[in-house]
Amino acid sequence: MLENKNGMIFGVANKRSIAWACAEACAEQGARLAFTYQGERLKENVEKLTADLQSAVVVPCDVTNQQEVDTAFETVGREFGKLDFLIHSIAFAPKEALEGEFLTTSRDAFRTALEISAFSLTQLAFAAAPLMKDGGSIVTMSYYGSEKVVQNYNVMGVAKAALESSVRYLAADLGKQNIRVNAISAGPINTLSARGVKNMGAMLKHIAEKSPLQRNVEAREVGNTALFLVSDLSSAITGETIYVDCGYNIMGI
Ligand code: 1JT
């Protein structure tokens, strides 16, 4: 399904990463992939994971460093010639911002969370668009806490609201270049990011009890949705946030 398509994947930290599940789904369908990693400590992880993939490119890219972003896209432009899709699976907020009350969020935590988790999508879309010569598809990851109050999600909820809105504005701007932009709103998954979250176990249990499908989402199910969104099967879908949450978000009392 993705033969002759080139993709760039942001946000692989380890094999449990949502970004990695997306990569596996896309690689199985014949995509050629480039991976970015944030910081030297993740380099080895990403290189080991991608060693089995054919002709994968691995480049450093900390989104708070514009020089690194520019260099990453230069490298991918040189290696691939053109880009067909980009998967953005990056978020960060200081640990203390993800507990207690939202009311106490510091300026610094707010700025960091929004810069890394929301602005980076616009930054990467701007850099990717010139390489998407035959059109393209950009996919990002969101969470329910963007539209409803979820205890402890706090400033990340605000950042995800900004991210989902950015998806709509980017979709409007990039539509004329046949570049689509969509978000996946994934149910909670036990990844490295989620590991630091208090009561994650209780939250997963709650979802398994309350969601229509009576279970939690697997990373691979998010990966498969990302595959759909970067493929031509979704050619008329742009600016959307698609829930991949076992139906949890549709429920009231
Ligand atoms: C970040 C973290 C972004 C955890 C995230 C995230 N998006 C979803 N999760 C899992 C999660 C976290 C909380 C939650 C529900 C789901 C951690 C590092 C920063 C970025 O609240 C109930 C807090």
pLDDT in tens, 57-76: 999 999 999 999 999 999 99
Q: Is-contact 230 87, C-beta < 8 A?
A: yes
Answer yes or no: 153 catalytic: yes
Residue 34 placed within a domain: yes
Q: Which of 37, 143, 243, 248 is catalytic?
A: 143
Residue 36 placed within a domain: yes
Residue 105 placed within a domain: yes
- CA 188 to centroid of ligand 1, rounded, Å: 8
Locate all alpha helices (DSSP H) within the chain, ordered by sequence: 18-28, 43-50, 66-80, 107-114, 120-128, 154-174, 192-195, 200-210, 219-230
Residue 115 placed within a domain: yes
Does the beta carbon of 42 sit less than 6 angstroms from any atom of ligand 1? no
Q: Which atom of ligand 1 is nearest to the CA of 93?
A: 19
Does the beta carbon of 138 sit less than 6 angstroms from any atom of ligand 1? no
Q: Is-contact 85 230, C-beta < 8 A?
A: yes
pLDDT, tens digit (0-9, with 9 covering 90-100), for 129-181: 999 999 999 999 999 999 999 999 999 999 999 999 999 999 999 999 999 99
Q: Which domain holds residue 126?
A: 6-245
CATH number of the domain to which 47 belongs: 3.40.50.720
Residue 170 placed within a domain: yes
Does the beta carbon of 2 sit less than 6 angstroms from any atom of ligand 1? no
Answer yes or no: 248 catalytic: no
Predicted TM-score of the model (pTM): 0.98
Residue 251 placed within a domain: no
pLDDT, tens digit (0-9, with 9 covering 90-100), for 86-122: 999 999 999 999 999 999 999 999 999 999 999 999 9
**What CA–CA distance (Å, rounded) separates 227 from 154?**
30
What is the tally of structural domains in the chain?
A: 1
Q: Please compute the mean of the pLDDT values over residues 15-31 and round it to a whole number.
A: 98
- CA 178 to centroid of ligand 1, rounded, Å: 32
Residue 45 placed within a domain: yes
Residue 217 placed within a domain: yes
- And the tokens for 196? 């630091």
Residues 6 or more apart from 50 whose CB is under 8 A from it?
Answer: 12, 23, 33, 35, 56, 58
